[in-house]
Amino acid sequence: MTRTLHRLYDIEARKIFGPENLPIAHWYYLRVLAQRGELNQLELSKRVGIASTTAVPALDSMEKRGLLKRTRDPMDRRKYYVSLTDDGRRLVDKLMPEIIRIVSDSFDGVKPDDMLTFWGVLHRIAHNLTGKSDEDTIVD
């Protein structure tokens, strides 16, 4: 079942991102920046859910394509702030309606009560995971 869902998502995502030749993972960064505005690189990585060192190649790629820009923090030259460029904003505005359609279509046939149960369980899992990440223990 999960493989089928991933395959369907990939097919739909290629329809959207294909013409732009944009890796699907880059969408997460663009979406967060569109919603939150300028963020420091560490905060952006946290919001996307990817290690900051893993984010660097993706951010480099998007910066080279002119979708975002990074600026140094004048108070701490080790930090960078990331924001969308006009081209990045236009791309998000172009892709967002199609992505909303895909997400909306994925809920077809799901009853409202089932959605409430689903979101309740999902929030419980997220809460449990957040609690685990706040613990000082090391998990291998």
Rounded to an integer, what distance in angstroms lies between the CA atom of residue 28 and that of residue 44?
Answer: 10
User: Is 83 a domain residue?
Assistant: yes
User: Is 60 a domain residue?
Assistant: yes
Q: Residue 90: give the domain boundaries.
A: 2-109
For residue range 92-122, what is the model confidence (pLDDT) as tens digits?
998 888 888 888 888 899 999 999 999 999 9
CATH number for the domain that contains residue 44: 1.10.10.10
Return the pLDDT at 1: 47
Return the pLDDT at 124: 92
User: Is 75 a domain residue?
Assistant: yes
User: Is 87 a domain residue?
Assistant: yes
- Pairing of the two strands 39-40 and 68-73: unpaired
For residue range 14-40, what is the model confidence (pLDDT) as tens digits?
665 665 567 777 888 999 999 999 999
User: Is 85 a domain residue?
Assistant: yes
User: Is 130 a domain residue?
Assistant: no
User: Is 68 a domain residue?
Assistant: yes
Structural domains counted in the chain: 1
For residue range 37-82, what is the model confidence (pLDDT) as tens digits?
999 998 998 888 888 888 899 999 999 999 999 999 889 888 899 9
DSSP string, the chain: -HHHHHHHHHHHHHHHHGGGT--HHHHHHHHHHHHH-SEEHHHHHHHHTS-HHHHHHHHHHHHHTTSEEEEEETTEEEEEEEEE-HHHHHHHHHHHHHHHHHHHHHTTT--HHHHHHHHHHHHHHHHHHHHHHHSS----
pTM (2 d.p.): 0.68
Residue in this structure with the two tokens 């895909």, named with its chain if needed: 102
User: Is 20 a domain residue?
Assistant: yes
- 10 Å CB burial of residue 124 (0-12, 13-18, 19+) is exposed
